[in-house]
Amino acid sequence: MDRNVDVRTTISTILTAVLPKTEGDDWFDSIMCQGRMSDRRHSPDSELCHWVLFELGCRDSRILCRDVPDRGIKYSNNQIEKIVSGAQRLSAWKRFVFENSPMLGDIIHLGSKARGETEHVRIFLHANEKSWTTAGVTQSNKTGLWTAQETTNRFDGLRLENESGVTGQLNGWVDVCSITYEDLPKV
C-alpha cells in the first residue's frame, strides 16, 4: 500500500477508536494531559495532535512535544509553536493558499499571536464547500470540561469558526506524510 495512504488511514483509524473523550476519563487525563491541566500556559488543543504523531511513530524532538525520557524528548509549554516550527524545519509545512487544502490527517494551524488571536491546531478530517470537520480538544461552554472530539466548523475560505463562535484564520498545515515515522502501527 502507498505509504501516504497508510499514514492517513492510520490516523483516521486511531481517531475513530478514541474519540470522543472528556476530561475526567482515564484515557484523556493520562494520555492527553500528562497531568498538566492546571498549568495555565498549557495548550490542551495541541495535545491530541502530539499524541497522534507519537502513536504514528514520530520520535523527532523538533516537532514532537511529549515526555519520552528514553529519547531525551521533554514536554515544553510551546506545543503549538513546536508543531509549526518543527514542520517548517522538516519541510512538512504547507502555507495556506487558496488553491490548496489539507488532506485527511494533516494538522491545521489557526490564529496568530501577532494578530491578537489565540492560536489553535486541529487535525483535518474532511470538508465540503462551507464547512470543515476537524478533530481537536475544545472546552465545553456547558460543562467547562475539555473534550477531545470531532467538530464541524464553518469555513469562509479564510477563517474557521466553531459552534462556540471561536474563529481563527487558517495559516497553513503540517503535511503528516512528510514526517518520518519509525514504525507505523498496523491497524
Q: Give just the sign of the alpha carbon dihedral 142, 144, 150, 151.
A: positive
Lowest mean pLDDT among 28-42, 110-124, 172-186: 28-42
Q: Which long-range contacts (CB under 8 A, 24 or more apart) does 63-66 make?
A: 63/87, 63/89, 63/90, 63/92, 63/174, 63/179, 66/34
Among the listed residues 55, 64, 54, 58, the one whose alpha carbon sits nearest the alpha carbon of residue 13: 55
115 vs 113: CA distance, rounded Å = 5
Q: What is the pLDDT of residue 119?
A: 85
The chain-wide mean pLDDT, for the chain, equals: 83
Cis before residue 20, ω within 30 degrees of 0?
yes
CA 136 to CA 42: how far, in whole Å? Answer: 15
The model's pLDDT over 82-132, given as tens digits with 9 standing for 90+, comes to 899 999 999 999 999 888 899 999 999 998 777 777 788 999 999 988 899
Residue 10: CB partners within 8 Å, gap ≥ 6? 56, 184, 185, 187
Residue-wise burial string across 48-76, b where 16 or more C-beta atoms lie within 10 A, e elsewhere = bbbbbbbbbebbbbebbbbeeeeeebebe
pLDDT of residue 166: 75
Contacts of 186 (CB under 8 A, 6+ apart): none
Q: Is the pLDDT of residue 177 over 80?
A: yes
C-alpha to C-alpha distance for 51 and 6, rounded to whole angstroms: 18
* Candidate from 21-35, 50-64, 78-92, 155-169 with smallest mean pLDDT: 21-35
* DSSP H or E run through 152: strand 146-155
